[in-house]
Chain A
């Protein structure tokens, strides 16, 4: 099994801040890495696929980078609607999610 870790597990930020979330795989997954956003009581939403490709309809303030074992999700200027939990997911082998990073208001 490929294990996924995320850091930090939570963070507090202000509107307009630049936010970076890190995801690490226990072995190389090439670029088979997706990012999701989940708000309370809602289904997850795909933000980034294949490590750096922006899903249609997702604001350009979201970006992804990385390959191999280390990946980042960056929100360039945090907006009120971005306060949520973010999950990475590898799809290189049997897919699995990271534990999540909760972004809340400072």
Chain B
């Protein structure tokens, strides 16, 4: 079964750092992009960025460039989303998702497999 399993909920204080994870299984992890999507409480979906674990090609939405870092460790089939200094406005649900396109760009096949989401709460 193809699946993405995300790390558990986090509660942090403003200014703290954080790295959440997304572990893929059941498919060739290095052959598909993995993207990250933010959903703030009661709001819509926001595409944050994406990484191709095969060669670590990483692309960001302008809205998130410089605010977060996306990385991957292909040896353990895991992608990461990290913050160096959290703000209260980072409070949200974060989803990882596989992009079905493979190595190409533009992306064609949509985000076909999703993780269960990681809730991040930032509060003093």
B residues in contact (CB < 8 Å) with A: 35, 37, 44-47, 50, 59-62, 95, 97, 100, 106-112, 114-117
Contact = CB atoms under 8 A, between A and B. Distances in A.
Nearest to B111: A46
A34 B115 CA distance: 18
Given A97-B45, A99-B44, A50 B108 contact: yes
- Nearest first, the 7 closest Cβ-Cβ pairs linking A and B are A49-B110, A34-B110, A43-B114, A91-B107, A97-B45, A46-B110, A100-B44
B115 A43 contact: yes
Contact of A44 (B50, B60, B114): B114
Contacts of A34: 110-111
A99 B87 CA distance: 23
A36 interface: yes
A102 to B, nearest CB: 10
A44 B45 contact: yes
Nearest to A53: B109
A92 B107 CA distance: 7
Contacts of A48: 110
B120 to A, nearest CB: 15
Interface in A31-51: 32, 34, 36, 38, 43-46, 48-50
Contact of A87 (B45, B60, B107): B45
Nearest to A94: B61
Given A36-B110, A87-B44, A95-B50, 14 more contacts: A1-B62, A38-B45, A43-B114, A44-B37, A44-B114, A46-B111, A49-B108, A49-B110, A50-B108, A50-B110, A89-B47, A91-B108, A95-B107, A99-B44
A48 B117 CA distance: 21
A68 interface: no
Nearest to A34: B110
Contact of A94 (B59, B115, B117): B59
